[in-house]
Amino acid sequence: MPRFEVLRSTEIEALPEPVYETLVDFRTWPKWSPWLCAEPEASVIVSENPRAVGSSYRWSGSIVGAGAIQHKLLEPGRRILDELCILKPWKSKSEVGFQLEPAGKGTRVTWFMKGSLPWFLFWMIPQLEPLIGMDYERGLRMLKEWVETGRVDSQTQLQGIEPIGPLRMAGVKRQCAFRELPDSMSAAFEEVQQYYRQHGLATDTEAISVYHLCDFKSNLCEYTAGFLLPEEPGRLPRELLTWSIPSLRAIRVTHVGRYAHLGNAWSTGHQLVRYQHHKLAKVDSFEIYRNRPGQTPARNLVTDVYIPIR
């Protein structure tokens, strides 16, 4: 059977012992799980003793599938080794776990997976590492926030399939690695606002980002950041590019919270595409920002993610 391995790390501002205590207790997992946020109402069953060898965490849902994870080896403050059994959407078994190392005044946490796929899914191996890796990065980001602050400012609400459009926007196009996206997009919006101000254009419409390319294997993202245009925008500066869509259907996922966690909404939408076998339209996906960072606390930022389907 084709094998794969995934490793992702982060540094948490806490000593190894409290980080370990969070990770070993399955009752905390729904707080920072990168998958359960797609379906918070999914069934989760944690064994009576949630923090010992043999303890288990089972889940089942219409979007997150079904499976179980069990503690196999525990080294307090240092290492957790688990067995992951996926039942749906396909059966597989993997070795997963966490390695903890002191890092300055904090802890370096490495989340790893070693597993295999059924032979008929061999073609997925090149895609699997970056996709699971991005899930792990989302999970570690939420784990870090949970350990350091006691909360995770991210709520994902699947709104379903809705009509949207017609829409037209103007902005600037950029290309960057995924990890550079926050800084790249912040600079792009500053540039767009300057163009709008220089040419007397209103920026009181909603901001929007359109994703033209998301290549996870090559770690490359191409997008246009800008503002929605009124029906009669007038003459636009040549530095701005326009993008438009007609009326169409799209999966809408609302995210409330920090932009750093927007990947939770995108993952939710694409999980629905896979599990309900929707076909994507040949139209770029996009996100519309319903309020502004300078005017709204990060925990209250509202973003709607749209994935057009046929």
Domain boundary among the residues 152, 177, 209 is at: 152
The predicted pLDDT at position 203 comes to 84
Q: What is the CATH number of the domain that holds 49?
A: 3.30.530.20
Contacts (Cβ under 8 Å, ≥6 apart) of 111: 7, 8, 9, 96, 97, 98, 136, 139, 140
Residues 197 and 88 in one domain: no
**Could you give the CA distance from residue 38 to residue 59 in angstroms, rounded to a whole number?**
13
| Residue with the two structure tokens 């992951």 | 84
User: Considering 152, 182, 216, which residue would you say is the last residue of a domain?
Assistant: 152
At 216 the pLDDT is 86
Distance separating alpha carbons of residues 227 and 207, to the nearest angstrom: 4
User: Can you read off the two tokens belonging to residue 234?
Assistant: 């007038």
Task: Specify whether 135 is located in the same domain as 182.
Answer: no
Asked if residue 188 and residue 286 are part of one domain, the reply reads: yes
- What is the distance between the alpha carbons of residues 260 and 143, in angstroms, rounded to a whole number? 13
SS3 303: strand
What is the per-residue pLDDT for 126? 74
Give the CATH number, domain containing residue 281.
3.20.80.10
Judge if 193 and 289 occupy the same domain.
yes
Domain hosting residue 43, numbered range: 3-152
Same domain, 134 and 173: no
Q: Are residues 80 and 174 in the same domain?
A: no
If asked whether residues 248 and 278 sit together in one domain, one would say yes
Q: Is residue 195 located within the same domain as residue 123? A: no
pLDDT digits (tens, 9 = 90+) for 100-146: 999 999 999 999 999 877 666 666 667 778 889 999 999 999 999 99
User: pLDDT under 70 in the chain at which residues?
Assistant: 1, 118-125
Domain count for the chain = 2
In a shared domain, residues 165 and 291: yes
- pLDDT reported for residue 89: 83
Burial class (CB in 10 A: 0-12, 13-18, 19+), 239: middle
End-to-end CA distance of the chain: 35
Asked if residue 222 lies in contact with residue 124, where contact means CB atoms within 8 angstroms, the answer is no
Output the CA–CA distances (angstroms, integers) from residue 38 to 32, 41, 159, 160, 275, in the order listed. 12, 9, 11, 12, 12
Looking at the fold, whether 133 and 193 belong to one and the same domain comes out as: no
14 lies in the same domain as 116:
yes
What is the DSSP secondary structure assignment for residue 234, as one 8-state letter? Answer: -
Q: What is the reported pTM?
A: 0.93
If you write DSSP's letter for every residue of 37-48 in order, what string do you get?
GG-TTSEEEE-S
The rounded distance, in Å, linking the Cα atoms of 275 and 271 is 6
| Residue that is last in its domain, among 97, 126, 152 | 152
CB-CB contact of 259 with 226 (8 Å) = no
48 and 94 fall within a common domain: yes
